Chains A and B, each alone.
Chain A
């Protein structure tokens, strides 16, 4: 299995008297550039530290006009990481393709990062969150079409000799001839995150890419999601490889279960109550009618509804506790979900530097070796039983 450290790069200093959404309309007068300076550098250090501790990769993502994650350009962060790390995979999960016009920009920048890093890029493509369609005024009713077309253009730019002409409905380029080209051939590994939309799963299955389950739902939602994804692969005529699936989850390790909760709970709830509000806005046309039903089934368990720590524990919204507890819960879930990639959020909300570092250290020293033993590379011991959940 592969273990990644995923960073959202949250804004940790929303004033306590602000109770509005963290997205789209969250006033940017609340942004303090001094805080920005400090956390950008600190968060990068935390990702680099994951390499030192022996994790397999780091993940970053793209969001706009929000306090939830300060990475409108994950490619800037990835280019820094390409220079400041030497070994780990750098997963940009991903670039929101419909927002790039022309999308050859993504082909160019990803190829640059892949070359600079010596072929360590994992190329993530996303449709973009609902809020992004308000922040960019891009028509959400065209989101899926633009995504599919941009994807085709990028993959052709990487794999077909240029120059060639691309005439699509949304993007038209007379001379596609991307310089540079990626170092990994025929192209970097592709990851696509999703929240349960059937179209996304079918797209990933059709192209043999990897599907990353977005967190913040009850664990039962993940079981359903990965089951649907495996079924989508079966419909394409093959059995999903565990490496084609990734589970993204907040993780916090301390010496004991009690200490873990005491140190973590407030920081977690800053994330849930201050940074999540507004993320769930669904612009019209963004979700197809057939996917709506599937997504609605999970909506009731969305983390925004969490009120008590008992609910967090029960639904496994975060894996929190002593090294033994965390190992046990992760082992059980990884086996059950059948995911070959674990994407841990080791920093969340207002979790400070010292606790984040200690969390990473304990995880790497006490938990990771046991997970690696349980799930040796390229051979997921516990294949999920069909028909789970």
Chain B
């Protein structure tokens, strides 16, 4: 299966102009990114574009997308996603979402099940389980974050976080971190805070709404995910009428980065 490079589009929405990464032809599939704002150059999307029209919007506040000032919480986020679907002429479409993006996709699917044809939740946030709380991502130095998010610490993104961490460890050199290196991270975390600071990475009302999701749902859990425990995948699977779990060995939280080919295959099979 060949992979296709992503190209950028800018779409006008009610909150402002947002970036959308796009590639491939075939049935459309929407990818909602995590708190890290991954998208450009993501091998998983390029793989998937071999068979599908991949639509990967950059959420307001991330990358160069405008409009985070108009968005205060997940409720606003859902309306933004709906707005985007309308702008892109997508009526009912499959969603793939990682972590924060998985949570967002589930929120859309509980409210507007008719707009979600299939649902793939990859290490989704969104629930609170007293016995398996989600690890705190806010205020952690980059090296610790990398250790939590990746099984493979030699992954280029993990490596970049470790390189940044060396500066963090020496406060005197913090001011020497190039702003263009820091800025994307700062923007991503700020936008994430808007949606997920309190309640922390969940919506207390989501669990009892999951029964409204009518699409077949695949929940993908990275067996090495140290941010969100498997119990969350199990809770999603138990509450969504037509759902099953697939475990991916050797992958951590950032599963779309660590196992792009395997995930693309799983998604393709599920959508077929």
A selection of 26 A-B contacts at a CB cut-off of 8 Å is A134-B138, A134-B139, A139-B198, A140-B193, A141-B190, A280-B171, A283-B193, A284-B189, A284-B192, A284-B193, A285-B190, A285-B193, A289-B183, A289-B186, A289-B187, A292-B183, A293-B179, A296-B174, A296-B179, A297-B175, A298-B175, A299-B171, A299-B175, A300-B171, A300-B172, A300-B174
How near does chain A come to B151, taking the closest CB pair, in angstroms? 25
User: A332-352 vs B: 1/0 string, CB under 8 Å?
Assistant: 000000000000000000000
CA distance A13 to B239 in the complex (A): 51
Does B171 lie within 8 Å of A302, measured CB to CB? yes
How near does chain A come to B202, taking the closest CB pair, in angstroms? 13
A contact face: mostly helix, strand, loop, or mixed: helix
User: B139-180 vs A: 1/0 string, CB under 8 Å?
Assistant: 100000000000000000000000000000001111111010
8 other A-B residue contacts (CB within 8 Å) besides A284-B138, A296-B179, A299-B174: A134-B138, A137-B198, A141-B193, A280-B171, A283-B193, A284-B197, A296-B174, A299-B171
Which residues of chain A are near B212, meaning CB under 8 Å? none
How near does chain B come to A195, taking the closest CB pair, in angstroms? 13
Which residues of chain B are near A76, meaning CB under 8 Å? none
Does A284 lie within 8 Å of B186, measured CB to CB? yes
B209 in the interface (beta carbon within 8 A): no
Does A296 lie within 8 Å of B193, measured CB to CB? no
Q: Which of chain A's residues has its CB closest to B73's CB?
A: A139
A305 in the interface (beta carbon within 8 A): yes
How near does chain B come to A269, taking the closest CB pair, in angstroms? 16
Interface residues of B in 185-207 (CB under 8 A from A): 186-187, 189-194, 197-198, 200
How near does chain B come to A152, taking the closest CB pair, in angstroms? 18
Q: A137-B197, A139-B198 are in contact. Are A285 and B171 (CB under 8 A)?
A: no
How near does chain B come to A122, taking the closest CB pair, in angstroms? 32
User: A265-299 vs B: 1/0 string, CB under 8 Å?
Assistant: 00000000000000011011100010011001111
A138 in the interface (beta carbon within 8 A): yes
CA distance A289 to B62 in the complex (A): 12
Which residues of chain A are near B172, meaning CB under 8 Å? 300, 305
